[in-house]
Amino acid sequence: MNMIRLIAWREYMENVKTKGFWAGILIFPIIFTAVYFLQTTLSNATPTRYYILVDQSGEYTEAVETAIEREHQRRILGEFVSYLIENRKESNLDLTAAEQTNPADQLIDGADADEVAALEQWLDSGGLNFALTIARPALKEEIPPFEQPSRQFISAELPEGIDSSATPEEIAQALRPYLSGDRKLIVDSQPSDLFALILIPDNVNEDVSRPGVIPQPAGRPTGIQYWARNLTDSRLPDAIISSINSEIRNREYMDLGVDNQVVRNVQRTRMPISQLDPTAAIGEEEVSVADTFQQLAPIGFVYLMFVSLMQSVQYLLSNTIEEKSNRIIEVLLASVTAGELMMGKLLGIGLSGLTTIAVWLLSFFLFITLYQSSQTELIGQILDVILGSELIPWFVFYYFAGYALYSGVFLAIGSLCNTLKEAQAMMMPMIMIQVIPLAMMVFVVRDPNNTIVRIMSWFPLFTPYLMMNRAAADPPLIDLVGTTIVLLLSIVFVLWLSGKVFRMGVLRTGQPPRLIELLRMIHQGN
């Protein structure tokens, strides 16, 4: 036992001292931090985009301008909600929707529940000025003022020499150099790029699609023409077509003698829903946001387990191959048995995996502590909920069980190979096996006790991932006990078999054995 402990410590220190180990550990929090700040930076760095509107019908100019203004107000609403989350006096995940009584929380809840309805209420009530007035009592003292986002879409005039009464084809052709970036618009004496052309022909109403009427192929662009080189940013065309469709429907309502305001009020009418947990204590049945996070937390644990396990077993694999190729393993076997060497390697690399997880968690806490914002506050609350839940013991058990199972297999593979290239070819099937339960994450969370999921949970290689994913859903006792017994027996068998392969493979040279040859070696070893 003392030799196993010494080997484990040696393996642990050999890994911890390497630059690759710390690079692998730090790359995750670095990427997380970079993505976090990049999202904020990119969302605020979108330049002002100029568009030209040519409405030859004379019917939809106001609708388009309204659509663009609504898009701007939608951005203001979104950023103002983030401002409220960051600066409100109280933020408690344990509160239910019914307990959120102050106007700030009601606005946040409304925006999350129905963005369209929230925007309508925002506009009808007076927008930002009204929201600031009602939310001020719920805000902290001495906070920075809210800064409105700049407008992303601004109308520009047609360049000189282009007639708005020309045919749509002629207008589009004349503006092609501007749309392609070959020529610049002059806006406020400054050269600017033309982002989009919104062209509404005079006969556009002939293309309106109605239920029961099959449109005939026209052999030309139909409806509103949206010219833009950017094919990925759909905010502007979506806002325009939504507003114009709304305008068309309002006219239909008027023709039918229906009050538009009545229709709008009906469309904004919604029924609240209270989510209740039948397993909770009497009087505490209403589901909070914290309860929801607890149900979704297993997904994060599963991905953390996968990344950590893959990192650990890869270290185990590469170290074994390196020591074998350098003949170091022969020196070690002169002092210890193959079984002691194998167990020492498993323990040492396992400890390095725990170190990885500890550093990741510490980096998250440091990030949350050092950088305070609405998002980090939410992340901190989520971590508090998760760490205070019953999921931690499940994660510890399935992490060690998964590590013991997969590390035994990868260690056996490493003992049979002389190069990483050979090992990569042999380990690919094991990697693909782990991908299967990962691909099922969302499905398992939605229906954790599905018959297919329950059956697959009994397969030992899937058990750590699937049962961890089902942990928050109170799986049947037979699944808990049965899969645990099968998993533990599989670990014992895999470690026993891996030990036999390891003893025969560490001193083996040449090409890795074929499956039939490997089975013959194991049989002869008995």
pLDDT, tens digit, for every residue of 237-283? 888 888 888 888 888 888 888 887 777 777 667 676 677 777 667 77
Please indicate, yes or no, whether residues 368 and 497 belong to a single structural domain of this protein: yes
Task: Tell me which of 91 and 351 has the higher pLDDT.
Answer: 351
pLDDT, tens digit, for every residue of 402-456? 888 888 888 777 777 777 777 777 777 878 888 888 888 878 878 888 888 899 9
* Last residue in a domain, options 246, 268, 290: 268
Q: Within a domain: residue 274?
A: no
If pLDDT is split at 50, 70 and 90, which confidence band does 100 have? very low
Average pLDDT over all residues of the chain: 77
Q: Within a domain: residue 287?
A: no
Q: What is the pLDDT of residue 98?
A: 44
Q: Within a domain: residue 356?
A: yes
Cα–Cα nearest to 53, from 270, 200, 214:
200
184: helix, strand or coil:
coil
CA atoms within 13 A on the CB side of 501: 23
pLDDT, tens digit, for every residue of 229-239? 887 788 888 88
pLDDT, tens digit, for every residue of 459-511? 999 999 999 888 877 888 999 999 999 999 999 998 888 888 777 766 666 66
Q: Within a domain: residue 389?
A: yes
Q: What is the pLDDT of residue 76?
A: 81
Residue 70 above 90 pLDDT?
Answer: no
Residue type, 463: T
Please indicate, yes or no, whether residues 263 and 320 belong to a single structural domain of this protein: no
Q: Within a domain: residue 281?
A: no
Q: What is the pLDDT of residue 516?
A: 67
Q: What is the pLDDT of residue 130?
A: 72
Q: Within a domain: residue 122?
A: yes
Please indicate, yes or no, whether residues 251 and 308 belong to a single structural domain of this protein: no
User: What distance in Å separates the CA atoms of residue 330 and residue 324, rounded to the nearest whole number?
Assistant: 8
Please indicate, yes or no, whether residues 306 and 264 belong to a single structural domain of this protein: no
Q: What is the pLDDT of residue 190?
A: 87
Is this prediction's pTM over 0.75? no
If pLDDT is split at 50, 70 and 90, which confidence band does 96 have? very low
Residue 511: domain span = 2-34+298-525
* Residues near 6 by beta carbon (within 8 Å), at least 6 away in sequence: 344
If pLDDT is split at 50, 70 and 90, which confidence band does 370 have? low
- Find the largest Cα–Cα distance for the chain: 97
Please indicate, yes or no, whether residues 388 and 472 belong to a single structural domain of this protein: yes
Please indicate, yes or no, whether residues 379 and 481 belong to a single structural domain of this protein: yes
Residue 439: other Cβ atoms inside 10 A? 9
**Total number of domains in the chain:** 2
Please indicate, yes or no, whether residues 360 and 499 belong to a single structural domain of this protein: yes
Residue 304 above 90 pLDDT?
Answer: no
Please indicate, yes or no, whether residues 370 and 494 belong to a single structural domain of this protein: yes
Please indicate, yes or no, whether residues 15 and 70 belong to a single structural domain of this protein: no
Please indicate, yes or no, whether residues 88 and 121 belong to a single structural domain of this protein: yes
pLDDT, tens digit, for every residue of 341-359? 878 888 888 888 888 878 8
CB 287 within 8 A of CB 378: no
If pLDDT is split at 50, 70 and 90, which confidence band does 46 have? low
Inter-CA distances, 133 with 138, 254, 307, Å: 10, 36, 48
Please indicate, yes or no, whether residues 197 and 154 belong to a single structural domain of this protein: yes
Task: Classify residue 373 by its DSSP letter.
Answer: S
The DSSP annotation for 21-49 comes to: HHHHHHHHHHHHHHHHHHHHHHHH-PPPE
Please indicate, yes or no, whether residues 18 and 110 belong to a single structural domain of this protein: no
| Crossing angle of helices 338-370 and 477-505, rounded to 10° | 130
Residue 114: other Cβ atoms inside 10 A? 14
pLDDT, tens digit, for every residue of 177-215? 999 989 998 888 889 999 999 999 988 888 787 776 665
Mean pLDDT within 384-405: 80
Mean pLDDT within 322-334: 74
Mean pLDDT within 148-171: 88
Angle, CA of 367, 372 and 377, to the nearest 5°? 90
